[in-house]
Amino acid sequence: MKPKVFIAVSVPPEIEKYIAKHCDYRKWEGEGTIPQDELLKEVSNVEGLLIQGIKIDKKLLDHAPNLKIVSNVSVGYNNFDIEAMRDRGVIGTHTPYVLDDTVADLVFGLILSTARRIPELDQYVKQGKWKKSDETNLYGTDIHHSTLGLIGMGRIGEAIAKRGKFGFDMDVLYYNRTPKPKAEKELGVSYTHFKELLQKSDVIVLMTPLTSETANLIGANEFKLMKKTAFFINTSRGQTVDEGALLEALQTKEILGAGLDVYQQEPINPDHPILRLPNVVTVPHIGSATAKTRQDMVKVAAENLVKAVTGDKRQNIVKDLAYINPDKV
């Protein structure tokens, strides 16, 4: 008898066929995110759940007594209530590796767009404001041979460092929970303390996961340490930054500009004052949003799901749940 699973995200036909070959499945047929009341009905007798960003908490687990695995179509997993999942012996998986280069490309898109004022000057041309006499009012900031500071040096951080070092001849500093000598040797990057990184960097990229330790990691004090010519890029999670402090730092010229892919509230309120600032480049949480990468992520997530529920093997388990006894899964 095939294990029962529920697919709560849109998947390509070939991925659905792959899951069908190994599992008895149902899927969400509606538009957008499945309503919670519908999801709670669907999980009542399933062993596996394929999701993207849906909160996995005690309430959902109470409705899913047979659940063994939650497969998240994301590298992040702050939607997992780790303690509740540990208590129930439910493992959670994610999709590392496949999106590293795609996110790193976006980071440099934000860096260049912010420093060279590309969106702002695009509108300047389209609105007919460009005059032959324009010169200094069109100036941007060089990225090449500047100093890049990375807060968080995981796989994506290393991909960003590689682009900065070898593509733009940047000096690359990084801060991480633990130094990474191998990356230092291979990429020519330098480990530095948190405050020193903030003080020395021309471009600061925040790439930490969202945890209790990283919530509001960057606030008013941190912005005050940055150069007044610095650019701040956030492609981690919106909750890692005090958004009010960021707004004030931009309005008072504590920093020169910012590039944002993530926000405390998503979608961001269209009336948020940060959206009216010309020195801020904003995109709608598109770090991994290319057709190929998203398809690859879904493929990996489906494999994570099937391998766990069929007893083949377990892969890409989030580290906080990796200890769970495989005999229970």
């650019």: which residue's tokens?
Answer: 231
Residues ≥6 apart with Cβ < 8 Å to 221: none
- Strand, coil or helix: 107: helix
CB 129 within 8 A of CB 184: no
How many CA within 13 A on the CB side of residue 248? 12
Q: Look at the alpha carbons of 224, 226, 229, 230 in this order and tell me if their dihedral is positive or negative.
A: negative
For residue 292, give the 3-state DSSP assignment. Answer: helix
**Marked catalytic residue, from 237, 243, 254, 294:** 237
Query: Which of 98, 96, 93, 1 lies closest to 48 in space, CA to CA?
Result: 93
Catalytic residue among 63, 272, 285, 314: 285
CA nearest to 120, candidates 310, 280, 293, 259:
280
Find the helix packing angle between 100-115 and 118-126, rounded to 10°. Answer: 60
Sheet with strand 48-51: strands edge to edge: 24-27, 4-7, 48-51, 69-72, 91-93
Known catalytic residue: 285? yes
The rounded distance, in Å, linking the Cα atoms of 218 and 194 is 11
CA atoms in the 13 A half-sphere facing the CB of 323? 7
Instruction: Give yes or no: 237 in active site.
Output: yes
* Active site positions, annotated: 237, 266, 285
